[in-house]
């Protein structure tokens, strides 16, 4: 295994060679590669969701290559290298699992989780993060970041006392969004550019509040919002493909069909899933 890692590192070094390397790879920096890193992480999650083990092998390789790419650029800048990355995560895992790598003490999973959070808090403090929310990454998907922000706040007591109040909050935010929509209609009638822009900003703001409240409900229900929405996305695609298939039987496409006909096929697909 060490030989394969070394081979991969050598390939990356060759790709970034100033004289003989790949022009595209040489043009990249941390900022330009970061989106690819995020994309590869999502493709790993997609392979897992599809239970595609062969695909997962390839996607994990793509994600590993992203780590190697970043590490190589850091080494060129004199900051750190791949060995430093591997050493740092190994040291961190050993430090965070004294019950595995130290003397076993029979702690429960709950106790281990509490200890883990204390160690992470100490690490955040060592990095200069003083606020509870300081180091929740900005680059996370918005729903994932919202959930992490809520969990952090809940740890220090800033949370709803019961789930029913979270549901009430969703209803409240939905009403506020409706009010914002009405205000936007009034602004449009007055044809005032500043008022229209302010109204659109208010709609976006209230819509964000509604999404944040829905994520909060998912946290209370122990439902991962990203996973739940991916599941619904897949369901939507599956049912819409059924509409397309049924229409194609008569040589038509969705553009040629009325909405009520497509809705009927949608219900047909939905009922078929229940059988």
Q: Are residues 7 and 25 in the same domain?
A: yes
Predicted confidence at residue 129, as pLDDT, reads: 67
191: left (phi over 0), alpha (psi -120 to 50) or beta: left
Mean pLDDT computed over 238-249: 96
The secondary structure element, H or E, covering residue 158 is: none
* 240 plus 219 within the same structural domain: no
Within this chain, do residues 169 and 184 fall inside the same structural domain, yes or no? yes
Residues 181, 237 within the same domain: no
Q: Taking residues 239-254, what's their average pLDDT? A: 96
Q: What is the secondary structure of 19-78 as a DSSP string? A: TTS-HHHHH--HHHHHHHHHHHHHHHHHHHHTT-HHHHHHHHHHHHHHHHHHHHHHHHTT
Domain shared by 10 and 88, yes or no = yes
Tens of pLDDT, residue by residue over 157-196, are 999 999 999 999 999 999 999 999 999 998 888 877 888 8
Q: What CATH number has the domain bearing residue 157?
A: 1.10.287.1080
Does a structural domain hold residue 13?
yes
Q: What is the pTM of this model?
A: 0.67
Domain count along the chain: 3
| Residues of the domain holding 83 | 2-96
| Residue at 114 is within a domain | no
Do 209 and 239 share a domain, yes or no? no
Q: What is the pLDDT of residues 18-38, one digit of tens each?
A: 999 999 999 999 999 999 999
Smallest Cα–Cα separation from 13: which of 68, 63, 66?
A: 68
């Amino acid at each position: 295994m060490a030989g394969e890692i070394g081979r991969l590192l050598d390939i990356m070094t060759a790709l970034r060679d100033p004289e003989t390397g790949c022009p595209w790879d040489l043009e990249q920096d941390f900022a330009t590669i970061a989106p690819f890193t995020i994309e590869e992480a999502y493709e790993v999650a997609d392979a897992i969701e599809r239970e595609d083990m062969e695909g997962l092998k390839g996607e994990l390789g793509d994600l590993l290559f992203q780590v190697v790419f970043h590490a190589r650029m850091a080494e060129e800048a004199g900051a750190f290298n791949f060995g430093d990355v591997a050493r740092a995560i190994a040291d961190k895992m050993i430090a965070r699992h004294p019950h595995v790598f130290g003397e076993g003490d029979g702690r429960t999973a709950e106790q281990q989780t509490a200890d883990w959070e204390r160690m992470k808090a100490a690490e955040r403090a060592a990095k200069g993060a003083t606020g509870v929310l300081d180091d929740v990454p900005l680059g996370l998907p918005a729903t994932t970041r919202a959930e992490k922000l809520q969990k952090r706040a809940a740890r220090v007591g800033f949370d709803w006392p019961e789930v029913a109040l979270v549901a009430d909050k969703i209803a409240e935010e939905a009403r506020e969004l409706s009010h914002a929509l009405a205000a936007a209609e009034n602004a449009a009638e007055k044809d005032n550019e500043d008022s229209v822009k302010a109204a659109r900003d208010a709609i976006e703001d209230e819509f964000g509040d509604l999404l944040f409240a829905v994520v909060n409900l998912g946290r209370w229900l122990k439902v991962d919002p990203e996973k739940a929405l991916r599941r619904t996305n897949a369901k939507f695609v599956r049912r819409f493909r059924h509409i397309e298939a049924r229409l194609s039987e008569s040589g038509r496409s969705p553009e040629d069909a009325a909405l009520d006909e497509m809705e009927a096929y949608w219900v047909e697909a939905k009922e078929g899933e229940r059988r």
